[in-house]
Amino acid sequence: MAVFGLIDGNSFYCAAERAFAPELRGVPLVVLSNNDGCAIARTAEAKAMGIKMGEPWHLAQRRAECKAVEWRSSNYPLYGDMSRRMYEVLAARVPQVEPYSIDEMFLDLTGLPDVERLCHRLRDEVRRIAKIPTCVGIGPTKTIAKLANRIAKDDVALNGVCDLRGEADRTRYYAELSISRVWGIGSKTAATLQNLGIVSIADFIKLAPEQVRDVLTVTGARVQAELRGQSCLPFTLMPPPRQGIAVTRSFGQMANTWGQLREAVAAFATRAAEKLRAEGLEAGHLSVFAHTNPHNGDPWYSASRAAQIEPTSDTLALLSETMRLLHACWRPGHRYFKAGVMLANLTPARQQGQMFATRDTVKSARAMAALDAVNARFGRGMLRPAATGTAMAWKSRQAQHSPRYTTRAEEMLVATAF
Amino acid sequence: MNYNGGNTTGFVSPAGDSLEGRIDLSATLDLSRPSRYPVRVAGDALASRGIVSGDILIADAAFPPAHGKVAVVMMHGTALVGQLAFTKGQWWLASGHAGVQAVPVTGDEAEIWAVITGLVRTEV
């Protein structure tokens, strides 16, 4: 029988910050989204103060009790590297690890002896080496392992590990847990089920599979089978092929003029083209959008344009298409707050020249390789089209960015000699 | 042109089949291990151990702490680097300064963070 584990970092971004900043230990801490907008990670102390996931930080800060809360801008170079460390600690100790998201990984524990003790040890070692406190859920399917992980997080008496391989244990939890706690059951689905009188997981698994399929389609039927202990979601060791590449951001400062908006969107298109080339792809469809701030009382204006394009990954070609589409979106008199560039119809880049190409694709590939090489050596954005501007007022606000301790030599941890 | 000792224009380079990459210190120091963290030293309290301000220490979080080893310790809200001692059933951080008392590694958030396994000095 298959055995899945799910190991998940507790307040992962906060834990990564605390790993290098002992002054943040034991105090309430939140990490904010891009542009210092909303709380996206909270320590237990911050949760206890009533700070909600996704809560706008400028509103929370007005509350008297939140004055003492420490906050940091998001530091993705650090979080990415700490996630890599967590993965490598695990990969050296179990046969297969699937990095499901930056802070949670599925483990293949099939056929291993003394799984519970192993999971306690994995927790200890991830904590000690990768500096991330975690919880582990164990089950015969991914969905059960995920549920077990949530139980381990909520019940401190379990010491961070919850094993739901045994049917009797599952029956006990299924009777008391709401179906809304299950992975893949959103709030809408839970409401639909509630209308049918189905509240607990126990209620849900008693339903006939055909009935579940009728109400919740094949996806819901799969959730039910997984909860019953039939594994339907196998290990995935390759990320799914990309459907699209999007670079969208809200601005640090609103864009009032065509020049400001153009610079921001040009930078997004440049970044999207870089991502495309890093994966060896070309895009055949391009879309652009821009809108005003829906929350600050400004008149709402939102526009988008899209076009089929000759497949390319050339920054300059994508830039000129982007500017053409953006100009059609632009109306003067608005304060633009957010914009983005999306690339779709992705295909592997061809090495040879194309028969009907209107550009010299070989020359373009050479120019782009040189551009990427310069930026790889001297840092992202060192060499870039002049259209992206020099003021870069659109750049996101990151007022409390911690050092990139593990990826920049000039920002490494400093320890005082004792 | 990007000349590497092998791609000559006139005479064929006798080194052409024997070229090797440059020395990679991050491989020597094994920095790709998930347990390794570079740490910069501030202060000269460990000069007696040959560690001076500005040195880059290679801290390994998987390395078991031992009496006499130099380690990074997180304690009382600061990152310290000092010599470990194990006496009276617990860990202490001994000072490099003569006459300064050792402090016990205790408290809710106190942690032996990583043991120092190597040192890099970029200016001598």
Q: What is the number of other CB atoms lying within 10 angstroms of the CB of residue A141?
A: 23
Please choose, from the candidates B112, B67, B26, the residue with its C-alpha nearest in 3D space to the C-alpha of residue A129: B112
Please choose, from the candidates A371, A373, A380, the residue with its C-alpha nearest in 3D space to the C-alpha of residue A404: A380
Contact predicate A183/A143, CB 8 Å: yes
User: Chain A closest CA to B36's CA: distance in Å?
Assistant: 8
Please choose, from the candidates A253, A353, A249, A257, the residue with its C-alpha nearest in 3D space to the C-alpha of residue A296: A253
Q: What is the pLDDT of residues A303-314, one digit of tens each?
A: 999 999 988 999
Q: Which long-range contacts (CB under 8 A, 24 or more apart) does B23-31 make?
A: B25/B120, B29/B58, B29/B118, B29/B120, B31/B58
Q: Tokens 């799984």, residue?
A: A115
* CATH number of the domain encompassing residue A108: 3.30.70.270
* Residue A230 falls inside a structural domain: no
Q: Which residues of chain A have pLDDT under 50?
A: none
Residue A258 and residue A382 in one domain: yes
Phi and psi angles of residue A9, each rounded to the nearest 5 degrees, phi first: -70, 135
Q: What is the pLDDT of residues A38-63, one digit of tens each?
A: 999 999 999 999 999 999 898 888 88
Contact predicate A303/A329, CB 8 Å: yes
Per run of 10 residues, the mean pLDDT along chain B (length 124 residues) is 87 89 92 97 95 97 96 94 94 88 86 97 92
Q: Which residues of B touch A414 (CB under 8 A)?
A: 39-42, 79
* Residue A313 falls inside a structural domain: yes
Question: Could you tell me if the ipTM is greater than 0.90?
Answer: yes
H-state helical runs in A164-208: 167-176, 187-195, 201-206
Query: pLDDT > 70: what percent of chain A?
Result: 97
Residue A259 and residue A132 in one domain: no
Q: Do the chains contact at B51 and A23, CB–CB below 8 Å? A: no
Kindly state the tokens that stand for A9: 């970092």
* Residue A216 falls inside a structural domain: no
Q: Tokens 């994966």, residue?
A: A279
Distance CA B31, CA B24 (A): 11
Q: Which residues of A touch B35 (CB under 8 A)?
A: 85, 89, 129
What amino acid occupies position B32?
Answer: S
With H, G, I as helix, E, B as strand and everything else as coil, classify residue A290. strand
A with B: how many residue pairs have Cβ under 8 Å apart? 93
With H, G, I as helix, E, B as strand and everything else as coil, classify residue A286. strand
Of the candidates B35, B51, B75, the beta carbon closest to that of A417 is on: B51
Q: Which residues of A touch B53 (CB under 8 A)?
A: 417
Q: Do the chains contact at A128 and B46, CB–CB below 8 Å? A: no
The predicted pLDDT at position A198 comes to 93
When the candidates are 2.10.109.10, 3.40.190.10, 1.10.3720.10, 2.60.40.3120, the CATH number that belongs to B35-120 is 2.10.109.10
The predicted pLDDT at position A356 comes to 62
Reported as half-sphere exposure (CB side, CA atoms, 13 A), residue A35 has a value of 16
Of the candidates A26, A129, A413, the beta carbon closest to that of B40 is on: A413
Element (H, E) at A260: helix A258-278
- Residue A21's domain comprises 1-140
Distance CA B35, CA B70 (A): 16
Q: Which residues of B touch A418 (CB under 8 A)?
A: 45-46, 73, 80-82, 93, 95-96, 103
The predicted pLDDT at position A203 comes to 95
The predicted pLDDT at position A355 comes to 60
In chain A, the number of structural domains is 2
Supply angle C-alpha A79, A83, A88, rounded to 5. 150
H-state helical runs in chain B: 25-28
* Residue A70 falls inside a structural domain: yes
Report the chain B residue with the minimal C-alpha distance to residue A87.
Answer: B34
* CATH number of the domain encompassing residue A368: 3.30.1490.100
Within an 8 Å CB–CB cutoff, is residue A121 touching chain B? no
Element (H, E) at A270: helix A258-278
Q: Which residues of A touch B81 (CB under 8 A)?
A: 415-418
* Residue A162 falls inside a structural domain: no
Q: What is the DSSP-derived secondary structure letter of residue A6? A: E
Contact predicate A156/A130, CB 8 Å: no
